[in-house]
Amino acid sequence: MRRAVFLDRDGVLNRAILREGKPHPPETLAELRVLAGVRDACRKLREAGFALILITNQPDIARGAVTAQHVAEINGRLQRYLQLDDIRVCPHDDDAHCVCRKPQPGLLLEAARGWNIDLASSYIVGDRWRDVEAGHRAGCQAVFVDHGYRERQPDGPYLRVRSLREAAYWIIETANREWRRHA
């Protein structure tokens, strides 16, 4: 079985647009800005043997604010630039009560089946409580990138970091310790 790092998109890989202290996705490709250190962090995680899978809620599709094609263009650019293995998107809003919208673990479980991933040996990195909760429900270790948004904070346990770079360092060190302990 493989190990994976599940990556939220906006606020983890790329800059989220803040409005009234809350994060929003970029509205255009021109607004897409990969955060500092992200490309190097992804490379190091890949080299450490992790599959990199983007998992993202994009409720603006259901709300009619953007098209699925628009979201696919942004995701495709990120996938090529960061060499991500897969992308899983939930296009629904909360009122759909779907199994794929984080905090539900559907995107992670679907990816785990498709990629033969050991969820207990995998990690999720997100910047919102929904990401951390989805990881807990799927059985992953959670890392929370804290940007100080004015919204609900996640419930533990999780590691609090300031960037994907910091998360990657911790994930690789933790995985190496686990490997040495079981070797």
Split the chain (183 residues) into runs of 10 and give each run's mean pLDDT: 97 96 92 98 98 97 94 97 98 95 98 98 97 98 96 94 98 85 66
Report the alpha-carbon angle 51-52-55, nearest 5: 130
- Residue partners of 142: CB distance under 8 A and separation at least 6: 123, 124, 126, 131, 132, 135, 136, 154, 157, 158, 159
Structure token pair of residue 86: 């897969």
Give the pLDDT score at 183.
Answer: 60
Give the pLDDT score at 156.
Answer: 87
The residue among 40, 46, 79 whose CA lies nearest residue 166 is: 40
What are the backbone angles phi and psi of residue 130, rounded to the nearest 5°?
-60, -35
Give the pLDDT score at 44.
Answer: 98
Give the pLDDT score at 180.
Answer: 67
Q: What does the DSSP 8-state code read for residue 156?
A: S
Give the pLDDT score at 27.
Answer: 86
Tell me the whole-structure pTM to 2 decimals.
0.96
Q: Which residues are catalytic?
A: 8, 10
List the domains of the chain with CATH numbers. Answer: 3-182 (3.40.50.1000)
Each residue of 7-16: pLDDT tens digit?
Answer: 999 999 999 9
